[in-house]
Amino acid sequence: DAEITQSPRHKITETGRQVTLACHQTWNHNNMFWYRQDLGHGLRLIHYSYGVQDTNKGEVSDGYSVSRSNTEDLPLTLESAASSQTSVYFCANPGTYYGYTFGSGTRLTVV
């Protein structure tokens, strides 16, 4: 079955370090999205891509970057991790009728 997987599931890192969260999909879908979930804020869009070599900023993109070198992967990089980036991160493929299919998430803690 086609799926979307995220790794790692949990990550603890230190302030100032660069961190990359992986997202891999087997849907062969052009569109991939990254969200973060925080209490009191719901899910907020970080970056998204409509295809290879295409990347776009979402509403909370500061401090994050993405690259899209193939259809399957959209890694999310925190250039210099900050405590404010402690969150749960979700990668998603959009469908049509049912909105998104989400990955299982990565819980990131910045200490």
Partner 1 sequence: DQQVKQNSPSLSVQEGRISILNCDYTNSMFDYFLWYKKYPAEGPTFLISISSIKDKNEDGRFTVFLNKSAKHLSLHIVPSQPGDSAVYFCAAPFISGTYKYIFGTGTRLKVLA
Q: By the criterion CB under 8 A, which residues form the site for partner 1?
A: 31, 33, 35, 40-45, 48, 58, 90, 92, 94, 97-105
* Interatomic CA distance for residues 83 and 89, integer angstroms: 14
Nearer to partner 1, 15 or 84 (CB): 84
Tokens of 74: 């959209």
Nearer to partner 1, 1 or 99 (CB): 99
Nearer to partner 1, 39 or 111 (CB): 39
By the 8 A CB rule, do 26 and 93 touch? no
Using CA of residue 20, residue 22, residue 28, residue 29, what is the dihedral sign?
negative
**Shortest Å distance, C-beta 99 to partner 1:** 5
By the 8 A CB rule, do 21 and 89 touch? yes
**Shortest Å distance, C-beta 34 to partner 1:** 12
**Shortest Å distance, C-beta 87 to partner 1:** 14
